[in-house]
Amino acid sequence: MEFMGYQRNNDSFGIRNHILIMSSVSCANGVVDALGRIFPDAITLQHAYGCGYGPDDFTVSLRILSGILNNPNVGAVLVIGLGCELLKSERLAQAAKGKPAEAISIQQGGSATATKKGIEIVKKFIKHTKMARRVPSPVSQLIIGLKCGGSDAFSGVTANPAVGVAADLFVQEGATVIMGETTEMIGTAHILKKRCMDQQLGNRVEKMIFNQEKQVHDALGKLAGLVIAPGNIDGGLSSITEKSLGCIAKSGSTPINELIAYGNRPSKKGLVVMDTPGYDIDSMAGMASAGAQMIIFTTGRGTPAGFPAVPVIKVSSNTQTYRNMTGDIDINAGSILDESKSVEAAGRDIFDFSLRVASGATTRAEINKSIPFNCLKQGPTF
């Protein structure tokens, strides 16, 4: 099975061909924003960090930002830095592999000069990226991130199981599927352990979840079982365990083949678990860094969040949310309840739509450009 993608020099395949303009430090966000207004078709990535790091935080930032700029969906990258930060723009630009990449330092002339330089560089990048053409690409080269946010009591009944069907279909085609959100695996360690390809991997997954649960208990004590958002409770969820059982349904039924650290790239195909936070933006940042060309995101309460350079497909768990946020939701899994559609049929719809997105169809989040300001998790998670 194939989609129409962009083949990169490192034999990866992008589903978009974006010019990415990003900051290496928060002090440079103004110039990034200015260039984004001048070139609205470019993708901008800003964050609140870049300086004042401890060793672990610096390692995480370098891994995530360099991973995102190396995502197959990025055709060229411009990194804007201040000049005196720890994570310098030159270092990030040098991390780019197989694509044009340049760096600018604002302290070498000021913001206006940096913006003028950026304009000339982006114009050059536009000529380069316009030469790229979509070509038949194997589905086995796709990496799909799985995410849920604003979950409700229907998420584990409709949207998440349907995404699980789609995940199985992708794995059958030889693709890679990443499940994250370690906080939302609490209470399911015994289930996920049995799904691992071998006992050693199962023990590692179990330890990861138990360690996360201990951190939650240390922080919240008797309230640890309620480590869910107010919107989750309003949506009918009673505890983190109930939420977790619904969350892991997104992963389908295939064996877990690998456990990877936050932002690391998978070395194996099939279903992969990444140790990510539950917070939506941080979790998606890790998946984008890992090379995910798209993210399938289920929601019960509704959310417009997208992500820079990576299409995010929104699947609602109920029809009311779909009607309330039609301009933000791509697929309504509430049809499983309202129209007696089977979970398998809904999953096939998600799979088919994902392939259309891989070939160029736009998601609601892309249309709305609902891209978050802060997309970087701080601190080690693995």
Residue closest to 380 by CA, chosen among 162, 62, 12, 79: 62
C-alpha distance across the termini of the chain, in Å: 35
Q: Which pLDDT score, from 0 to 100, does residue 377 have?
A: 46
pLDDT of residue 151: 80
Question: Helices 343-358 and 159-172, interaxial angle, to 10°?
Answer: 60
Per-residue pLDDT of 34-61, as tens digits, reads 999 999 999 999 988 888 778 888 899 9
Q: What is the pLDDT of residue 51?
A: 85
CATH number attached to the domain at 18-130: 3.40.50.2300
For residue 32, give the nearest of 66, 98, 78 by alpha carbon.
Answer: 78
Average pLDDT, whole number, for the chain? 91
Which pLDDT belongs to residue 244? 81
pLDDT of residue 379: 40
pLDDT tens string 236-289: 655 666 778 888 999 999 999 999 999 999 999 999 999 998 889 999 999 999
Give percent above pLDDT 70 in the chain.
92
pLDDT at 15 over 80: yes
pTM for the full predicted model? 0.92
